[in-house]
A and B are shown apart, each in its own frame.
Chain A
Amino acid sequence: MATRFHLLQGNEACVEGAIAAGMKFYAGYPITPSTEIAERSAVRLPQVGGKFIQMEDEIAGIAAALGASVAGLKAMTATSGPGFSLKQENIGYASIAEIPIVIVDVQRAGPSTGLPTSPSQGDYMQSKWGTHGDHPVIVISPSSVQECYNLTVRCFNMAERFRVPVIFLMDEIVGHLREGCELIPPEELEINNRIEGNITGMTYAVSEGNYVPEFAAFGEGERYNVTGLFHDDTGFPTNDNTITRNQERRLMDKIRMRRDRIMQWEEKDCEDADVIIVCYGGTARSVMGAMEEASKMDFLKIGMFRPITVWPFPEKALEKLSKKCKHILVAEHNNGQMLLEVQRVVKDNCPVSFIGKIDGTTLTPDDILTKITEVY
């Protein structure tokens, strides 16, 4: 890694970003199209004193990563559709026990085994609602190889800072895309670590000025209890309604109250656009192609609104735009999932149309331009 610029696959850039962020542990199970993340982690982690382990299944992958996180290491696991389904229970465990972890889901076409090597964005809703019970969610979706690098760092920062599972929602398009990528060294990046502290029996109490409990790694002398049961500030189970209610509220609020700091999105040529296309992840590349085509001919003015944090959804920004533009088209590689979120936000401000694909092929710029001429 002598030079800064490399030709990398999105999956490889994700691993490099993770290592720059301080990842010291990876546990996972091979699954297309995310396998290169495991492979590169296996090569790179021991070089930086970290640990890689291939576990017996997807559930064990996230479980071992959570165990390592409790022992103090920044940890990650990666998977795709079927494996993402299997990991859901322990995503909930990480939420309630407040264990930092990054879970990468390189989406492929589903349901079930589906089309293992084909692009899809079918896990958008699952990334928020996949595990049972109400829980806080941060989901980030990259559109380029460079973003696979930079945003993986951000995933770790948020996981560590907020003590939450953060989901990096990639897709086959960005995962297997090869582009130039600048490997920005850690000293030039903002790197956040978990807030460590002397918790002395009050494992889950939030001290003055903090918004999450301080963390002590197992083995450092605090000797506390971690459980997936609702628990009080000491970390021990309780059925007390008030304590349960307060814990649930605090878990949700630590993200909800800081949404404005967490949310990230891109607005491209939206100012005077007739039609704004809402898209994320790999789909944005087709949309950018469509915009380029349109600019070469006598066509409508097209803008792009691209949520980068797909959860929490950047609703205020989109609501504002929906009052200015004439039409919104949602483009996704599914049957319309973010569409529901867009409709909820836009209401009657302007008409909302949808273009999607679920046949294993990619939306082309032509598909998108044709759709615009149909609906507008």
Chain B
Amino acid sequence: MPSKLIEKTMRVNRLPHIWCPGCGHGILMRDVAQAIENCGLDPDKVVIVSGIGCSSRAAGYMNYNTLHTTHGRAIAFATGVKLANPELTVIVITGDGDATAIGGNHLIHACRRNIDLTVVVFNNNIYGMTGGQYSPTTPHGEKGTTAPYGNIDYNFDIPKLAESAGATYTARGTAFHVPQMIKLIENGIKHHGFSLIEGLSVCPTYYGRKNKKGSAVDMYNWQKENCIDAAKAQKMSAEELEGKILTGEMSRCEKPEYTDMYMEIIRKCGGDK
């Protein structure tokens, strides 16, 4: 029996989902749904836009207006939806490859515009759908099927990338730290401007197996032990923070929002009459 939340927010007849046993994406998808619920939004006015990849299959399971687009282009489609009808709450679910490799240009420019989208990146550090190739977030030195001798690329820090491109809310959570992740997404939705929340996922099938990370449980335990809330980290020494990943709200500021500014242009041109 599905829980009340699942019954209400998911297309139960589309379940079970396609994700592998142990994958973190299901947890992150539930977090997004819970955050939408916590915001008290009318589901008819919520649009979920996704691209291509494991993460992007989430759209099909979620009981909102869902747009499963082409690889890398989710944020560009979402920009059109939001500008066409600013009354809609537009949430993008994307992956590390979808958002920062093939879709990297759309990501930074949406940040720059400060258009009111909430982008949740399910980061599993690998291309899962195609079988384990290295992505822009595969850590330096780790392996993928296309990095058999170790990855010589350096990886992106996604919230930092978004912040420097102009995003007015950035955060990082994990699949393990559920209450924190829900709160971060909730805050992102409530923030009036471009929000980016990175959700560290877990891919035991490809990333974990290729890099000897143990079982799915081992990988969640790793998140538990190595991800430190940014607020707590302030009281910790540099030594204690060595090799740790900071989570929580990373940055926030207020700036006029894109669709508001466009509506002002329409008013000035007399197009609202």
Partner of B69, one of A50, A224, A228: A228
Shortest Cβ distance from residue B168 to the other chain A in the assembled complex, whole angstroms: 18
Report whether A65 and B271 are in contact in the complex, using a CB–CB cutoff of 8 Å: no
**Is A49 an interface position by the 8 A CB rule?**
yes
Determine the chain B residues whose CB is within 8 A of the CB of A251 once the complex forms. none
**Is A223 an interface position by the 8 A CB rule?**
yes
Report whether A223 and B84 are in contact in the complex, using a CB–CB cutoff of 8 Å: no
Most chain B Cβ neighbours within 10 Å, of A59, A64, A226? A64
Report whether A227 and B80 are in contact in the complex, using a CB–CB cutoff of 8 Å: no
Alpha-carbon gap, A48 to B265, bound state (A): 11
Partner of B84, one of A46, A68, A220, A224: A68
Report whether B78 and A67 are in contact in the complex, using a CB–CB cutoff of 8 Å: yes
Partner of B271, one of A25, A48, A220: A48
Report whether B87 and A63 are in contact in the complex, using a CB–CB cutoff of 8 Å: no
Report whether B60 and A219 are in contact in the complex, using a CB–CB cutoff of 8 Å: no
Alpha-carbon gap, A53 to B78, bound state (A): 13
Determine the chain A residues whose CB is within 8 A of the CB of B270 once the complex forms. 47
**Is A230 an interface position by the 8 A CB rule?**
no
- Given the contacts A67-B81, A218-B85, A228 and B106 also touching, CB distance less than 8 Å: no
**Is A51 an interface position by the 8 A CB rule?**
yes
Report whether B68 and A225 are in contact in the complex, using a CB–CB cutoff of 8 Å: yes
Can you name the residue of chain A whose Cβ is closest to the Cβ of B267? A46
- Given the contacts A50-B271, A93-B70, A219-B87, A224 and B65 also touching, CB distance less than 8 Å: yes
The interface size of chain B toward A, counting residues with CB under 8 Å, comes to: 41
Determine the chain A residues whose CB is within 8 A of the CB of B241 once the complex forms. none
Stretch at the interface among B42-50, B122-130, B137-145, B174-182: B42-50
Report whether A75 and B60 are in contact in the complex, using a CB–CB cutoff of 8 Å: no
Report whether A25 and B14 are in contact in the complex, using a CB–CB cutoff of 8 Å: no
Report whether B88 and A219 are in contact in the complex, using a CB–CB cutoff of 8 Å: yes
**Is B238 an interface position by the 8 A CB rule?**
no
Determine the chain B residues whose CB is within 8 A of the CB of A243 once the complex forms. none
**Is B109 an interface position by the 8 A CB rule?**
yes
Partner of B73, one of A24, A46, A50, A63: A63
Interface residues of A in 40-91 (CB under 8 A from B): 45-51, 53, 55-57, 59-60, 63-73, 75, 89-90
Alpha-carbon gap, A90 to B76, bound state (A): 11
- With A56-B105, A89-B70 known, 20 other A-B pairs at CB within 8 A are A49-B272, A51-B266, A53-B262, A56-B108, A60-B106, A60-B109, A63-B69, A64-B79, A67-B77, A67-B81, A67-B84, A71-B84, A72-B85, A219-B45, A219-B65, A220-B44, A227-B60, A228-B68, A229-B68, A237-B60
> Which of B's residues lie within 8 Å of A, judged by CB?
14, 43-45, 47, 49, 59-60, 63-70, 73, 76-85, 87-88, 105-106, 108-109, 262, 265-266, 268-272
- 11 A-B pairs within 8 Å (CB atoms) are namely A45-B271, A49-B272, A60-B76, A60-B109, A63-B70, A63-B106, A64-B80, A66-B69, A68-B81, A93-B69, A224-B66
> Which of A's residues lie within 8 Å of B, judged by CB?
24-25, 27, 45-51, 53, 55-57, 59-60, 63-73, 75, 89-90, 93, 217-229, 236-237
